[in-house]
Structure 1
Amino acid sequence: MTLRDDEKDAAIQETGVLGATTPNNYNSSPPSILNPAQDIESGEEEKDYGSPPDGGLTAWLQVLATHLINAMTWGYAAAFGVYQLYYVETLGLPASQVSWIGSVQIFFTYAICAVSGRLADAGYTRITVAVGTFMAVFGTFMTSLAKTYWQIFLAQAVCIGIGLGVTFMPAISILSSYFEKNRAFALAVSAVGTSVGSVSFPAMIQHLTARIGFPWAVRCAGFLALAMAVVANVLLKPRLPPRKTGPLLELKAFSELPYLLFSMAAFVYFYALYFVFFYINSYARNIIGFSNSDSINLLIITNAMGIPMRPIAGYIADRWTGPINLFIAALAAVFAILYSWTAVTTRTGMYVFSVVYGLSIGANQGLFVASLTSLTKDPQKMGVRFGMVETLSALATVAGAPTAGAIIDHDHGNYFWAQIWGGSVMAAATVIFVSCRISVTGWKLWAKV
């Protein structure tokens, strides 16, 4: 065999970035390209960082860490209904002003995600989580000391909101890199933390306020959040090498039609997402006649339904449907249930609505992250691409609850048109998510995606 033949054979065995054999100059056929239904990112190649373990102790510890961070971040946000009740009834603050505290807190939580996601991609995971935790806990203790509206606003809306956003995003980025076949299930199990926190924090504050007072109840919630974040930060372990170069934002991602449509749909989706969580309490009290404590229990029941539903939805998505398909089906159920809320006039009906809506929104929210990560083939860009969608959605979340409040006020305390608004917004989001799916699969009626 000649030296030239040796060179040919060596060239044939070279491996390219996609993990496939790279042909040499003598075999001029290009590497195969997946069709649009298989590769939904025409502008982005999938790089080979080794196969995700899809299991093992380290991978499942990342699920636990993300579970704790979800419990801290979104559990905190879900507890706002308890704060709102205290601010309005005890401090005598106007309800319309108080709703802005919760909306702005959620806005900052989402708005900072693009920055914190890029920091996670660059390898600054632990320091990012540590800084975010400090801000959230510091803001909590300042909230316990606040006496005026603007003190509460700065501590709870701004400081805690930014801290939660800085803490949340890096964990999602790391966890997604450890799973592929079981990614939807792993993300859904971690998202159970949202439901656990959404039950734990409101119940803790409500229970302790009657015994030790509101300020110390808030401080106890801060200590619980601190413990969760410390354990999570110890467990987090990035799998991929850091991507220190590159822009802060990956704006070319919006040139990919599926990603663009998903971003648009997410914006509409988040516009009405927190409507029920913010107003189920007041509807139960003012329209149905619930007591304050019973109305808070409704919120806790709604959040608790996500505990069994999220992992079930993730398992079904991985095994049979794909995350986007099941996400759309759950979202269709959500808007139908929101329309049906207009017919609820009894205590029993409120409990039924709380359970059914909680199951539907639990499955829906549990699959949101998995649906979005399925549109990203390069795991090193997971943080920034997910963060950009969350940052864009922040603009919708800050307007959603005040919009619903304005509709209710305009209708003299009647919730009918606000409920129609919520259902219609979710229906519009469903249509755009369906368009996103079609851009991925074409007009195939059944395709796992």
Structure 2
Amino acid sequence: MGLLTRKETKEEVVDEGFIDRGPPDGGMRAWLQVLCGHLIVFNAWGYINSFGIFQPYYVSMLNRPPSDISWVGSLQICLVYGVGTFSGRAMDAGYLRPTMIIGFILQLLGIFMTSLSISYWQFILAQGICQGLGDGLLFCPMVAVMSTYFSKRRTLAISSAACGGATGGMVFPAIAQQLLPKIGFAWTVRVMGFVVLFNACVVLSLVRQRLPPRKTGPLIEWGAFTELPYVLFASGTFFALWATFYAYYYVRAFGRDILHISEQTSFNLLLIINGVGLPGRLIPALLSDKFFGPVNTIIPWTASASVLLYGWIGVHSLAGLTVFTAIYGFFGGGIQSLFPSALSSLTTDLSKAGTRIGMVFSIVSIATLTGPPLAGALIGKDDGQYLYAQLFGGTSMILGSLLLVGARVSQTGFFLKRRM
């Protein structure tokens, strides 16, 4: 049976003694889960999207090429998605709270150990692996939990949570901008850790799982890979996310190395690219829920981002870089929020939401692991210039958008007005 062809019933028995009458699609408890999701994304993706803080600092401090340093951030993103298969299945089995507690412990341990790190392998272990594992144990289960509370408003709910990547992406660089010159790197990172700790306490006090545990069932649902729309969607998001984070990592370095802008101005670019991600996440969510559906919406967003990455080649001034940063942040933020929303819409059996979402998360983790270091290696091959990396980013993104078109057509046919 196709991914989207089975209609959700009003009442479905999920576990003995429990009748699921469908997602409430609103209410205090449902929106509190969105708040929890926002804070989790704030802690995880807000920190990750601010890696431009760390990239130039680590290059200078450790005297290593950009491609080496990018492995720290890309490992973190890889594990956010890669752990999804396990953390998603744990959520389905009823272990949401223990999974989150372990996730927050690892997240905080990684941040505070980063503040003590002085060598490359220490940053890899602390920020890349430990913090990444913590992020991964938190992110996928929270997306799955929110998807069980919403139906018609699902994209808006998940995208509102995804706005945490924008708010966190403004707060963490602002902390760095204000505190790095005054208290140094170690204590600046610790202050970020205390912000994460506060958010963790709020989340653990409010998060609630709606559906009863699904104790049986495989870790991987291999049958999903026999469904062409699911396979094409997974492939499309692989190529799209292979290139999405390139600009977040390197726009600040591009400004400093190629345009020779000041440290202060380069921090402002990070604030811009993350700040415009706030409307970039909400506007496509509203369009998706009201008119088009998440898959139909993510396709033009991805295609637009590919054009922008190609357009980056023609940027030769601060004004041009500022415009590029603002527009790309809008579309890049939209891709990040629409991806889990579109993925959750491919799962009609909500008791399997964690498993099926986690499977695609694990696939795209390979893309997010290799994308930024590959871009850094291409910069090195180009003697510090960015042309090869810009071509890689634009080409990968356009290929991703074409595969997403294939996923949509394989499910609905050539009917432009059909929501998906």
The interval holding the TM-score normalised by the smaller chain is: over 0.9
Kindly provide the amino acid, as one letter, of the partner of residue 38 in structure 2: H
Aligned pairs for 1:373-392 (under 5 A) are: 373-392=344-363
4+ runs of 1 displaced by more than 6 Å? none
- The counterpart of 1:284, out of the listed 255, 258, 262, is 255
1:192-213 alpha-carbon deviations (Å, 9 max, x no partner): 1111111111221232111111
Equivalent position to 1:77, from 45, 48, 63: 48
Q: Partner residue of 1:39? A: 5
- Is 1:360 matched with 2:331? yes
- Report the alpha carbon displacement of residue 38 of structure 1 after superposing the two structures with TM: 5.4
- Identity among equivalent pairs (%): 43
Question: 1:190, 1:37 → 2: CA distance?
Answer: 25
**1:89 CA drift (Å):** 2.3
Aligned to 1:215: 186
Match of 1:213, SS?
helix
Aligned position for 1:152: 123
2:70 to 80, 87, 99: 99
Q: Check whether the contact 2:144–2:344 (CA below 8 A) recurs between aligned residues.
A: no
* Cα distance in structure 2, aligned partners of 1:96 and 1:180: 42
| Distance (whole Å) between structure 2 residues aligned to residue 250 and residue 187 of structure 1 | 23
1:445 aligns with 2:411: no
Per the alignment, residue 143 of structure 1 pairs with 114
Q: Which amino acid aligns with 1:261?
A: L
1-structure distance, mates of 2:3, 2:118: 56
CA distance in 2, matches of 1:382, 1:87: 38
Which of 224, 228, 235 is 2:206 aligned to? 235
Q: Normalising by structure 2, report the TM-score.
A: 0.95
For residue 244 of structure 1, give the secondary structure of its aligned residue in structure 2: coil
Residues 87-129 of structure 1: per-residue CA shift (max 9 Å, x gap): 2223434433212111112112211111001111111111111
Could you report, residue by residue, the CA deviation over 1:188-238 in whole angstroms, capped at 9, with x for unpaired residues? 111111111111112212321111111011011011111112211211111
Deviation digits for residues 278-320 of structure 1, max 9, x if unmatched?
1111111111121123112212211111112312221111111
Within 2, Cα distance between the matches of 1:38 and 1:260? 14
Alignment-derived partner of residue 68 in structure 1: 39
What is the CA distance between 1:79 and its match in structure 2? Answer: 2.1
Query: Is the partner of 1:52 in helix, strand or coil?
Result: coil
The reply on whether 1:129 has 2:95 as its aligned counterpart is: no
Q: Which of the numbers 386, 389, 393 marks the counterpart of 1:422?
A: 393
Contiguous gaps of at least 5 residues in structure 2: 14-19
Aligned mate of 1:87, from 42, 45, 58 = 58
Partners of 2:246 and 2:371 within 8 A in 1: yes
What SS is found at the alignment partner of 1:262?
helix
- Indicate conservation of the 8 Å contact 2:66/2:377, yes or no: no
Partner of 1:115: 86
Which deviates the most, 326-335 or 307-316?
307-316
Q: Which amino acid aligns with 2:90?
A: L
In structure 1, distance between residues paired with 2:300 and 2:343? 16
Aligned match of 2:286 in 308, 315, 323?
Answer: 315
Aligned mates of 1:423, 1:47 — CA distance in 2: 44
Q: Does 175-184 or 393-402 show the bigger shift?
A: 393-402
Whole-angstrom CA distance in 2 between matches of 1:271 and 1:308: 23
Aligned residue for 2:115, secondary structure, equals: helix
Q: How far apart are 1:373 and its partner, in Å?
A: 0.9
- Whether the 8 Å CA contact 2:67–2:372 is kept in 1: the answer is no
Query: 1:394 maps to which residue?
Result: 365
Q: Which has the larger radius of gyration?
A: 1
| Inter-CA distance 357–92: structure 2 relative to 1 (3 Å threshold) | same
